[in-house]
């Protein structure tokens, strides 16, 4: 595997379900991100982790719970979601230090909440 | 007012045409400007990265930044059907670019 991978690629869940999204980066990066991409809206940054520590929580509802056990893995735990949470959830990673930064994105998980 | 404004399109042009994609922004503290390309069912990939005002060219792609007007552009010369994608502008105040602010994205189709 190379780059940033995400599983599952598609997920359908009911509002009472609990599920988790997984992201793995094979780039040796130290920063990881969760974004939400909804139709006709800009990419919304949700969480940022640097060296496994959460450094940004962009006022995300508590029904989204991130977890970063190490610099290569990032999870997004989902529970009691709402239909308006249906979107493409993108994970990204970057080097995490000063210098010209590029964020590398995974293919995303397409989430549908019924 | 949105921090970054980008016309969502869709934009459809014939193969070989010159394409111009644009974003405007309101935050004068933005210094780093990026263009990402996103193919259907894929994540965004970085296309161009520029700092401050000026032009940057890479093959058929040219990025322009005009900080005085708070306006950035991406030009695609000799457009190809493979350029059909959604193009996202993004910008950041700091070099680390961890807090990127994205435009809505412009969906572009190049017709053979």
Residue of B nearest to A41 (CA): B104
Does the CA dihedral B62-B63-B66-B72 come out positive or negative? positive
Interchain contact A5–B (C-beta under 8 A): no
Mean pLDDT of chain A: 91
Angle formed at CA B80 by CA A40 and CA B41, multiple of 5 degrees = 40
Does the CA dihedral A81-A83-A84-A90 come out positive or negative? positive
Contact between A101 and B103 using a beta-carbon 8 Å cutoff: no
Q: Give residue A95's pLDDT.
A: 86
**Reduced 3-state DSSP string for A14-64:** CCCCEEEEEEEECCCCCEEEEEEECCCCCCEEEEEEECCEEEEECCCCCCE
Interchain contact A94–B (C-beta under 8 A): yes
Distance from CA of B87 to the nearest CA of A (A): 11
Distance from CA of A97 to the nearest CA of B (A): 7
The DSSP code for A102 is -
Contact between A50 and B101 using a beta-carbon 8 Å cutoff: no
Residue of A nearest to B105 (CA): A42
Percent of chain B having pLDDT more than 70? 97
Q: Give residue A79's pLDDT.
A: 94
The per-residue pLDDT for range A20-75, each reduced to its tens digit, is 999 999 999 999 999 999 988 899 999 999 888 888 888 899 999 999 999 999 99
Q: Give residue A5's pLDDT.
A: 96
């Amino acid at each position: 595997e190379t780059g940033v991978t995400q599983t599952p690629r598609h997920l359908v869940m009911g509002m009472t379900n609990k599920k988790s999204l997984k992201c793995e980066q094979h780039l040796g990066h130290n920063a990881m991100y969760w974004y939400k991409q909804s139709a006709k809206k800009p990419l919304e940054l949700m969480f940022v982790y640097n060296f496994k520590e959460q450094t940004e929580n962009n006022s995300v509802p508590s029904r989204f719970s991130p977890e970063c056990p190490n610099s290569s893995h990032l999870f997004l735990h989902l529970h009691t979601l709402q239909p308006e949470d249906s979107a493409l959830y993108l994970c990204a990673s970057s080097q995490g230090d000063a210098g010209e930064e590029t964020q590398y994105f995974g293919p995303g998980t397409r989430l549908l909440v019924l | 007012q949105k921090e970054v404004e980008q016309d969502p399109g869709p934009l459809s042009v014939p193969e070989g045409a010159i394409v111009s994609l644009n974003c405007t922004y309101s935050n004068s503290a933005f210094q780093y400007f990026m263009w990402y390309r996103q193919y259907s069912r894929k994540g965004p990939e970085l296309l161009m990265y520029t700092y401050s005002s000026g032009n940057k060219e890479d093959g058929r792609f040219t990025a322009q930044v005009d900080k005085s007007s708070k306006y950035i552009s991406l030009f695609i010369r000799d457009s190809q059907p493979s350029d059909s994608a959604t193009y996202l502008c993004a910008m950041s105040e700091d070099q680390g670019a961890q807090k990127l602010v994205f435009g809505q994205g412009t969906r572009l189709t190049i017709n053979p």
